[in-house]
Amino acid sequence: MKNFKCYRRDVDVEPILTELLENQSAWAEQTGRQRRVAVQAETNAIPIRGLRRSRIMGRRRRDVHETRYTSLAKRFPNTVALLEKLAIELGGRLGRAKFARLPPAAQVLPHVDRGEYYARRDRYHLVVDSTGESKLCAGDEEVGMHVGELWWFDNKAMHSARNTSNRFRTHLVFDIEPSDALGRASTPAISPGDPRDLLITAQTSTQKEVCESIEHAVELYLAIRANPASWEEVLREHDCVERAQRHPIEVLTKMLWPTLGEGRRKRRESAVAWALAQLDLGRLTTRQIPKALRDAGGIRQLHDVWRASKDEMLYGAA
């Protein structure tokens, strides 16, 4: 199999299962993942390690590398100890980690984990609680995992999960950044320059055809991703650091097109998000963006479809 590898079949999960049973209320305390991410709508999660919010600096969450233990982690000392032990065994640095639970008959819809964070890390699943086989698909392969098994799988391939049993299925899901991670990082289609310079260039491009201006906006975002500290200085000058932590692309488009009406700017915001997703998935280069936008029916049509069902637009019908 190319998309899966079982590393261990003998992990003692009783200590962390005990912690879960003692902290059942934690499943309902942080529900943003299932509310905001359509493909995860049927899952429950308890975040143990998450991104450092202060380091977003105008980037999308999938492009933020820095992580830290969450406020919930202190209730799970055995889980934290096991994660740190496994990181040493696997020869890498621990990234984000969470308990993920699928109710009976629930599923995680097909998707790809996109962005700079995932490009540099390996994804692991440790089965904590399950009846029989715990099903996971990646690419054209499917495996049945069992309690106590630790699996690597390629989350950069199209993947999905389903719970075919009549009880909850719980995994400890975590990411490891291996020693060769820098060699894996995706390379932008351009060499990004300084965000300040590119902001001026992109603002002057607003007089050009709209599809070309989207290309310039994407180039600016790639520069932000490569040099977030410089962009944070720009955000501070415009007094929008906090807003950019929650809505980075919205803030970027407001800086680029401050005089546009809300509806027109929102359409461009959707176009930028769509184009960045195509780059993440390796479907486009920046230079191909204008033509791809026209082929998609233009900004207005793309916006309507993107807002209605971005996951279906990216991955197809479930």
Fold for 4-183, please state it.
Answer: Jelly Rolls (2.60.120)
Spell out the domain ranges in the chain.
4-183, 195-315
pLDDT of residue 264: 94
C-beta of residue 47 within 8 angstroms of C-beta of residue 70? yes
User: What span, in angstroms and rounded, lies between the C-alpha atoms of 160 and 138?
Assistant: 7
pLDDT along the chain (318 residues), means of 10: 95 97 94 82 95 87 94 97 96 96 94 93 97 92 96 96 93 93 51 73 68 90 88 90 91 91 95 94 92 94 92 77
Phi-psi region of 135 (alpha: psi -120 to 50; beta: other; left: phi over 0): beta
Q: What is the DSSP letter of 222?
A: H
User: 202-208: long-range contacts at Cβ-Cβ below 8 A with a sequence spacing of 24 or more?
Assistant: 202/256, 203/255, 203/256, 206/256, 206/257
C-beta of residue 245 within 8 angstroms of C-beta of residue 53? yes
C-beta of residue 185 within 8 angstroms of C-beta of residue 121? no
Closest CA to 101 of 81, 132, 125, 84: 125
**Which residues fall within 8 angstroms of residue 180, CB to CB, at 6 or more apart?**
none
Strand 44-51 vs strand 4-8: parallel, antiparallel, or unpaired? unpaired
pLDDT of residue 188: 45
> Which residue is it, tokens 């009846």?
131
Q: What is the pTM of this model?
A: 0.85
| Number of Cβ atoms within 10 Å of the Cβ of 198 | 22
Q: What is the DSSP letter of 143?
A: E
